[in-house]
């Protein structure tokens, strides 16, 4: 569709940001009233999708385009969006707003704040506005009276949301790329920057583009999804802001210098700085008439082997590339099985049989079912008897299955004293365990570390689940001394997981690197709570690649007989 033919109602054109704000406000009111959390989540997700789109939702609605093609937008939400575009608001929201207390209406404008928690803070501190909340935050009162975690929540919630995670970026990047090529007439557009290096939290979306008319492209962006203000612009680079607040950077490069353009725009800044330092030829090549279409040709020119984007963080990659000693990084197709997955026995959405058949469809040789343990009541943890029954059930299942093996496992809670949540005679019956912390995040660093070390002393401890418990952009992890934990794991034959859930990615790349350097293998797990979530694997693989892992150091790149030997303590 050509932009010039779109009929516009310029008197009342709603930006994507304004539409998203309505949905987000509704989500906030629903959350405050204790509504179904999946419903709240659905509105939030739809709002994020809309805010990141490179197309104008207002125009799409006016052209009767089916909105359910976008991720997270189902029939009901699509109807709500149409109502917002047609009437400027949602009747449901207007009604709630009219009846809500003024302080709640104000909280609803801050999508990062959890209304119920903030109302509790208001009560405790005797305040009733976000202005007062901010004051208390800066004065240190929230931290002192309500703890570090609450302080962190308020700090993040009062910040404007400009950051996103890889899985959120994925959709937006695809939409922007399509927009740049189809509607701006750009010949070639490639996502670069943090996104291409697979950094977990992305603060700016960056594209390398092949065009002779960067200014024209920018005016198109402003018209569709931009806030219309160009932050900076030179002949070859432009930075603008989308209605979501997301910063979009476009860098133009001629086709014959594409390889150089890719390296410069992919970064990291530190990697590029070290390249400049390493090879004076670099600058000459940039200015010469010589063609450098691929990155490989540029690195080769400098006497380096190709450096994968995930390794370009300015650590040891240039020295290794100079000696042709870069690791061969693990790939998604190297993964032979799943080691952390839940079923309906605890808090999963699919039965064991459904999880197994989905794993088989992915070509896996094995899948470990690791449901929650008894103490974790909110996740329907299995009692000892339940787990005994599950073990017998899986034995029977394996008898009639061909081509895939179901491993008997559990995600065993590490209790506050460092003991495991099942007795040894039960743990002994499992093929392996994933042991995790799900409680008492507020213990100090030393106690939390000792808790894990003590757990590792149990001979039935195999893999430490989500080692720091972080939820990206939501909560920091609990504090542990990762180096001590890695050392203890190395001494005792324990392992880590890289939890691929895009909100976790735990271990972080730098912690995972510590494990690799100590010779401790890791599993790349998805912690799937449904068959759909097996797809998270790629995010964990990216994370492992950033930590420099090859497949020989990844537990689930081994066959089960090999893995069984490795896990034996």
The residues binding Zn ion (CB under 5 A) are 411, 436, 527
Local structure of residue 32 (DSSP, 8 states): H
CB of 513 to Zn ion, least distance (A): 23
Three-class secondary structure assignment of 347-365: CCCCCHHHHHHHHHHCCCC
Nearest approach, Cβ of residue 352 and Zn ion (Å):
15
Q: Tell the smallest beta-carbon distance from residue 265 to Zn ion (Å).
A: 37
Phi, psi of 19 (to 5 degrees): -65, -45
Closer of 433 and 458 to Zn ion (Cβ): 433
Residues in the chain: 569
Report the residue number, 345 or 436, with the smaller CB distance to Zn ion: 436
Name which of 197 and 372 has its Cβ closer to Zn ion.
Answer: 372
Torsion angle (degrees, nearest 10) of CA 396, 399, 402, 404: 50
In terms of CB distance, is 30 or 463 closer to Zn ion?
463
Query: What DSSP character marks residue 395?
Result: H
- What letters, b where the CB count within 10 A reaches 16 and e where it falls short, cover 287-301? eeeeebeebebbbeb
- Please report how close the Cβ of residue 347 comes to Zn ion at its closest, in angstroms: 8
Q: How far is the CB of 523 from Zn ion (least distance, A)?
A: 12
3-class secondary structure, 173: helix
* Rounded least distance, CB 378 to Zn ion, Å: 12
- Which tokens go with 148? 């570090």
Q: How far is the CB of 108 from Zn ion (least distance, A)?
A: 31
CA gap 89, 72 in Å, rounded = 20
CA 287 to each of CA 91, 254, 265: distance values in angstroms, whole numbers, following the listed order: 60, 12, 16
- Residues with Cβ within 8 Å of 26's Cβ and at least 6 positions away in sequence, in order, are 43, 80, 90, 92, 93, 96
Instruction: In whole angstroms, give the CA distance from residue 545 to residue 313.
Output: 12
DSSP symbols for 102-125: HHHHHHTT-TTS-HHHHHHHHHHH
**Least distance in Å: CB of 520 to Zn ion?**
20
Closer residue to Zn ion, CB minimum distance, 73 or 420: 420
Instruction: Report in angstroms how near the CB of residue 338 gets to Zn ion at its nearest.
Output: 11
- If the CB atoms of residues 58 and 411 are measured against Zn ion, the closer one turns out to be 411
Whichever of 246 and 436 has its CB closer to Zn ion, that residue is 436
Angle between helix 148-158 and 115-125 (nearest 10): 120
- Please, which residue, 190 or 527, has the CB nearer to Zn ion? 527
Distance CA 6, CA 246 (A): 25
- Give the three-class secondary structure for 67: helix
Burial of residue 44 (CB within 10 Å: 0-12, 13-18, 19+) is buried
Q: From the CB of 533, what's the least distance to Zn ion, in Å?
A: 10
Distance CA 414, CA 373 (A): 10
Residue with Cβ nearer Zn ion (194 or 411): 411
Q: Which is nearer to Zn ion, 536 or 549 (CB)?
A: 536
**Phi and psi for 89 in degrees, rounded to 5?**
-160, -175
């Amino acid at each position: 569709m050509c932009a010039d033919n779109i009929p516009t109602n310029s008197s009342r054109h709603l930006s994507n940001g304004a539409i998203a704000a309505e949905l987000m406000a509704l989500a906030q009111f629903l959350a405050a009233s204790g509504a179904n959390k999946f419903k709240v989540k659905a509105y939030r997700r739809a709002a994020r999708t809309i805010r990141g789109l490179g197309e104008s939702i207002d125009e799409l609605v006016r052209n009767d385009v089916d909105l359910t093609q976008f991720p997270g937008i189902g029939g009901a939400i699509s109807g709500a969006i149409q109502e917002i575009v047609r009437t400027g608001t949602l009747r449901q929201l207007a009604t709630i707003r009219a009846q809500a207390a003024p302080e709640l209406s104000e909280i609803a404008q801050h999508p990062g704040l959890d209304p119920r928690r903030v109302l509790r803070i208001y009560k405790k501190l005797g305040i009733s506005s976000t202005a007062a909340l901010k004051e208390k935050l800066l004065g240190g009162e929230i931290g002192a009276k309500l703890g570090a975690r609450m302080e962190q929540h308020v700090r993040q919630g009062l910040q404007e949301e400009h950051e996103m995670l890889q899985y959120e970026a994925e959709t937006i990047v695809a939409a922007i790329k399509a927009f740049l090529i189809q509607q701006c007439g750009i010949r070639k557009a490639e996502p670069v920057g943090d996104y291409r290096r697979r950094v977990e939290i992305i603060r700016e979306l960056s594209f390398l583009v092949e065009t002779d008319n960067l200014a024209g492209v920018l005016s198109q962006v402003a018209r569709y999804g931009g806030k219309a203000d160009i932050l900076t612009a030179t002949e070859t680079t432009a930075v603008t802001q989308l209605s979501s607040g997301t910063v979009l950077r476009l860098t133009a490069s001629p086709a014959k210098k594409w390889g150089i353009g890719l390296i410069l725009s992919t970064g990291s800044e530190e990697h590029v700085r070290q390249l400049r330092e390493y090879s004076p030829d670099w600058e000459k090549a940039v200015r010469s008439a010589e063609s450098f279409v691929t990155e490989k040709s540029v690195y080769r020119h400098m006497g380096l082997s190709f450096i994968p984007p995930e390794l370009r963080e300015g650590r040891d990659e240039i020295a290794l590339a100079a000696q042709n000693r870069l690791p061969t990084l693990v790939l998604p197709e190297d993964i032979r099985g799943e080691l952390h997955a839940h079923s309906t026995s605890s808090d999963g959405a699919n039965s064991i049989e459904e999880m197994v058949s989905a794993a088989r469809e992915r070509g896996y040789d094995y899948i470990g079912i690791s449901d929650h343990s008894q103490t974790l009541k909110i996740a329907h943890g299995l009692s000892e008897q339940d787990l005994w029954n599950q073990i017998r059930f899986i034995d029977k299942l394996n008898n009639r299955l061909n081509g895939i093996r179901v491993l008997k496992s559990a995600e065993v809670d590490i209790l506050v004293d460092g003991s495991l949540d099942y007795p040894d005679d039960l743990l002994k019956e499992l093929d392996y365990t994933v042991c995790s912390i799900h409680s008492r995040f507020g213990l100090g660093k030393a106690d939390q570390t000792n808790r894990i070390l003590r757990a590792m002393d149990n001979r039935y401890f195999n893999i430490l689940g989500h080692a720091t418990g972080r939820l990206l952009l939501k909560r920091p992890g609990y504090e542990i001394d990762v180096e001590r934990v890695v050392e203890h794991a190395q001494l005792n034959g324990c392992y880590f997981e890289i939890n691929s859930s895009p909100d976790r990615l735990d271990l972080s790349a730098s912690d995972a690197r510590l494990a690799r350097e100590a010779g401790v293998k890791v599993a790349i797990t998805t912690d799937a709570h449904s068959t759909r979530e097996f797809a998270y694997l790629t995010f964990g693989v990216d994370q492992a690649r950033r930590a420099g892992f090859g497949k020989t150091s990844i537990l689930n790149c081994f066959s089960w007989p090999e893995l069984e030997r490795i896990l034996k303590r």
